[in-house]
Amino acid sequence: MRRNNSNSLIKFLIIIILIAIVGVVGFIYLSPQFEQNKPEIKFTDKKEFWNLKDSLNMNISDESGIKYYKVTYKDDKNETVLEDKVLDDAKKSINLEIKAPKLDMFFKGKNVSIIVEAVDKSKWNFFEGNSIKKEFKIKIDKQSPVANVIGNSFAIRRGGSAVVVVQVKDENLKDAYISFNNEERFELIPFYKKDFYIALIAWPVTIEKFDRVNLVAIDEANNKTFTKVPLYIRPLKIKNENINISSSFVNNISRNVLEKSGLDVPSTVKDIFVKENRTLRKMNTDIIKEITRKFMDKEKIDNFQISAFKRLSGSKTVAGYADRRHYYYENEKIDQAWHLGMDWASIKHASIKASNAGKVIFNDFLGIYGNTIIIDHKLGLQTLYAHTSKSNVTVGENIKANSIIANTGSTGAVFGDHLHFGVLVQGIEVNPLEWMDRNWIKTRITNVITEAKKVINSK
């Protein structure tokens, strides 16, 4: 009897011990204090190249917190500890800015390693924590890109256009573009031969001061080259125009345009007009820029020929480019805006012809512009036809010069039937009068391209 009691007690104790062991093991595996994940180490931005001037931005993270880290630089001749730190208070995330060590001025190494070690504060691994050691191999590139201006238009007018031909060369080239005042970016299009590019640029009429036009080239190691594009500047004569807005126009036109654009309509006449003229206008111009830059033809160009654009046949000009419109309601100025195209009025529903061949990249209702067509003519040059009543083209269609693309109308925020004709350079409306002048196109665009090709051939 005693033996049975003894056996039962032993079995009971064994079960208790097993339960305790399972409990302890379960606690260790499930407790955050014993988490088993190694810290994560990564660059905050993709980094395969380094110029040894900029910092390398890195992040170390761990759910239990980092208690120690070490960063070592290593090349063929040097090994230097850049950071070696024990943290009094563990941190779940640490951002590091790793600077290159002081190296011999004649250092010509092509590859280096950044070795990062980290330990978290977990009690796993016999209270030592989880550790990681990671090596990042980086290519060294201290050479800035070649960025030369080969040719460009002699001058540019506010609201006007110019062409620039450049050479950009770097084995690790990341980005290259033309900047205007560091406010507008113009994409480069491959031109004629390898490492040469071309771009039409614009001086947006909304930017009053001309500061500088730069060719910017950046490689993967963040070496940058800035080359000035030499341009003489010309002023633009601006016409100020006062326009009285009626309640009838706002309630019949502005309200309808806002509703059709999916926007809420304010309660007062003034607020309705301002929302249409300011908020919706910006939305529409942003869409124009987005669409044109996304769908403009970026294929290599060997030559570029364009005919002078023609006004709407038999029409009268009712508004010009860069008219500065000041809007009044009940003798109070409520808003202002630039008019960024040519308005031509003829007979109702007059036929609209495209002066040049191109590809239709937009054909839809566009707020204040109404039913609108945009045609791409290559080199970042597009034309816009707004307020149309009927369209004869579809998006993606290649149209021939002098083909009838639409009819005039009064769609959008307008007083009556007419055509708003706009010329765009990478989505920015520029002065159409330049592109309607055959001599201007020849001297400012095509001759510059011809001369640039001669320079390229001589290299």
Same domain assignment for residues 191 and 322? no
**Residue 4: how many CB atoms within 10 A of its CB?**
8
The H or E element that residue 239 is part of is: strand 239-244
Can you tell me the mean pLDDT for 415-442? 96
Q: What's the pLDDT at 30?
A: 47
Predicted confidence band at 27 (pLDDT cuts at 50, 70, 90)? very low
- Per-residue pLDDT averaged across 139-145, rounded? 94
Residue of higher predicted confidence among 19 and 237: 237
pLDDT reading at 124 higher than 80: no
Do 164 and 277 fall within a single domain?
Answer: no
State how far the alpha carbon of 230 is from the alpha carbons of 42, 148, 151, 453, 456, in Å. 43, 12, 9, 18, 18
Mean pLDDT throughout 173-196? 97
Structural domains counted in the chain: 3
* pLDDT for 423 beyond 80: yes
Contacts 24+ apart (CB under 8 A), 169-172: 169/145, 169/195, 170/143, 170/144, 170/145, 170/146, 170/217, 170/219, 170/223, 172/49, 172/141, 172/219, 172/220, 172/221
Among the ranges given (14-23, 31-40, 415-424), the one the predictor scored with the smallest mean pLDDT:
14-23
Question: Which pLDDT value is given to residue 336?
Answer: 94
Would you say the C-alpha torsion 282, 288, 293, 295 has a positive or negative sign?
A: positive
Last residue of a domain, one of 113, 140, 167: 140
Q: Mean of the per-residue pLDDT values for the chain? A: 91
pLDDT of residue 9: 63
Q: Per-residue DSSP letters for 157-225?
A: ETT-EEEEEEEEE-TTEEEEEEEETTTEEEE-EEBSSTTEEEEEEE--TT------EEEEEEETT--EE
Query: In terms of domains, do 171 and 216 share one?
Result: yes
Banded pLDDT at 343 (limits 50, 70, 90): very high
223 and 249 both lie in a single domain: no
Residue 401 falls within a domain, yes or no? yes
Q: What is the pLDDT of residues 367-381, one digit of tens each?
A: 999 999 999 999 999
Same domain for 292 and 189, yes or no, is no
Reported as a single tens digit per residue, the pLDDT across 243-299 is 999 999 999 999 999 999 999 999 999 999 999 999 999 999 999 999 999 999 999
Same domain, 330 and 402: yes
Supply the range of the domain harboring residue 314: 239-430
Confidence category of residue 18, pLDDT binned at 50, 70, 90: low
Residue 23 forms part of a structural domain: no
Closest CA to 204 of 158, 165, 136, 146: 158
Confidence category of residue 148, pLDDT binned at 50, 70, 90: very high
What is the domain-level CATH number for residue 131?
Answer: 2.60.40.1940
pLDDT confidence bin for 109, thresholds 50/70/90? confident
- Does residue 125 surpass a pLDDT of 90? no
Looking at per-residue pLDDT, the higher value among 385 and 30 belongs to 385
- pLDDT on residue 17: 62
Q: Which amino acid is at 255?
A: R
Q: Kindly tell me if the per-residue pLDDT of 25 is higher than 60.
A: no
Integer Cα distance of 44 and 60 in angstroms: 10
Q: What is the CATH number of the domain that holds 151?
A: 2.60.40.10
